[in-house]
Amino acid sequence: MAEKRVYEVVFIVDPGTQEDEVTRLSETLGKIVTDQSGTITRFEVLCRRQLAYRIGHSNEGIYGLFEIEGTGREIAELERRMRVSDQVLRYLTVRVDEDRQRAEKLRARRARKAAKRPMAASASGGGQATRGGDDE
């Protein structure tokens, strides 16, 4: 069995699309992921925003975000469906599990280093109490 990975998929929907159609599109895309044995851990329709550059005849778009946990097969199918959809202007898929693991290692390393220096933590707290006593 393949390893589960975490992906973030950001997509931009044509601003001329009605709100109920955007909801239907996002439900359809979510169903594609779940049919391929993936899980959606987070979904958001962010907002209507100005685009950095013109896409077609549009200066703005409706942004959506999926956070998907899966093997990669569901991402391939999801991207294929978004590529042929007229409503989706652009999409971007990023694998984020390695970055999160790296950030967690750095966080743990910082915590270990901070635990090794108890004098630094107590000295900063003790220094303020001493100064307060000197002023009196």
Total domains in the fold of the chain: 2
pLDDT band at residue 136 using 50, 70 and 90 as cut-offs: very low
Residues 6+ apart with CB under 8 A from 70: 4, 5, 7, 33, 36, 37, 38, 39
Same-domain check for residues 91 and 104? no
pLDDT at 135 over 70: no
* pLDDT beyond 60 at 1: no
Total residues found in the chain within this entry: 136
Q: Is there a single domain that holds both residue 55 and residue 122?
A: no
The pLDDT of residue 2 is: 64
Residues spanned by the domain of 47: 5-95
pLDDT band at 91 (very low <50, low <70, confident <90, very high): very high
User: Is 76 found in the same domain as 38?
Assistant: yes
